[in-house]
């Protein structure tokens, strides 16, 4: 099991975690494991899990630790996760971070990348974010795909996530400060935390992350 490249990507909602993980998947040939994406897919498919979590997600609150830990445990058993994973949106609480250590054992997290972006900027990014319901492509409200409502990649519907509306954004950012920000000291105390300035172009953020991963001798 050793030699797995497990990277945690931390940052406020709207910091660019999803965008960066989509780019890094190709670079490192490890899957993007986003608990938010897994949960949204369950909601869209109307599975029992989706029905259970839809209300909590729309309100911008967190679903239970037990539930997401089980989802991640199952995801890690899939073939493509045997070389590692880019974890986006998980862990989000100290209990999840501890459970993740227990799941991964000695072959734990190699690095935690904190994408640092000021709160007013993430609020603006989330308010103007539009997403494809089919493939997850991310657009801005001023992009032609958002205006026409049709994804350029797959033809799916481009929508505003319910939790990207003002009340839910406020709630999600409060939840981040209360439950997730403590993970920064958790990973710092383990010597695993690296902070990258997320207030740069997506290309420059990707370059900065790749430089750190390279410096640490991880890839
Ligand atoms: P995200 O796309 O990562 O912002 O996640 C969207 C929503 O899914 C969150 O606001 C939560 O309701 C739920 N969610 C995603 N990941 C987690 C997690 N690790 N723990 C609890 N809830 C989560």
Q: Give the pairing of strands 158-159 and 129-132.
A: antiparallel
Tell me how far apart the alpha carbons of residues 84 and 99 are, in angstroms, rounded to a whole number. 16
Q: What is the pLDDT of residue 1?
A: 39
* CATH number listed for the domain at residues 5-31+78-211: 3.40.50.300
Catalytic machinery residues: 17, 92, 129, 161, 172
Q: Exposed/middle/buried for 159, CB within 10 Å: 0-12, 13-18, 19+?
A: middle
Residues having CB within 6 Å of any atom of ligand 1: 13, 35-36, 39, 56-57, 60-63, 68, 89-90, 92, 96, 163, 172
Q: What is the pLDDT of residue 5?
A: 94
- How many A from CA of 215 to the centre of ligand 1? 31
- How many A from CA of 16 to the centre of ligand 1? 15
pLDDT by residue, tens only, the chain of 219 residues: 347 899 999 999 999 999 999 999 989 999 999 999 999 999 999 999 999 999 999 988 999 999 999 999 999 999 999 999 999 999 999 999 999 999 998 668 999 999 999 999 999 999 999 999 999 899 999 999 999 999 999 999 999 999 999 999 999 999 999 999 999 999 999 999 999 999 999 999 999 999 999 999 998
Measuring CA to CA, how many Å separate 199 from each of 7, 10, 88, 207?
20, 14, 18, 13
- How many A from CA of 94 to the centre of ligand 1? 14
């Amino acid at each position: 099991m050793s030699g797995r490249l497990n990277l945690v990507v931390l940052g406020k909602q709207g910091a660019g975690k999803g965008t960066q993980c989509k780019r890094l998947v190709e670079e490192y040939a490890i899957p993007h494991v986003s608990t938010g994406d897994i949960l949204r897919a369950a909601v869209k498919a109307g599975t029992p899990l989706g029905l259970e979590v839809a209300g909590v997600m729309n309100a911008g609150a967190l679903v239970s630790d037990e539930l997401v830990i089980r989802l991640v445990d199952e995801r890690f058993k899939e073939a493509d996760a045997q070389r590692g994973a880019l974890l986006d949106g998980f862990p989000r609480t100290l209990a999840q971070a501890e459970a993740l250590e227990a799941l991964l054992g000695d072959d734990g997290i190699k690095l935690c990348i904190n994408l640092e972006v000021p709160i007013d900027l993430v609020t603006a990014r989330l308010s103007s974010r539009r997403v494809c319901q089919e493939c997850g492509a991310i657009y801005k409200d001023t992009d032609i795909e958002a205006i026409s409502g049709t994804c350029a990649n797959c033809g799916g519907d481009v929508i505003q996530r319910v939790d990207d509306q003002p009340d839910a954004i406020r709630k999600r950012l409060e939840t981040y400060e209360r439950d997730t920000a403590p993970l920064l000291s958790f990973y710092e105390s383990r010597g695993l935390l690296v902070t990258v300035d997320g207030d740069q172009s997506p290309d420059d953020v990707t370059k900065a992350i790749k430089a750190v991963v390279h410096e640490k001798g991880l890839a």
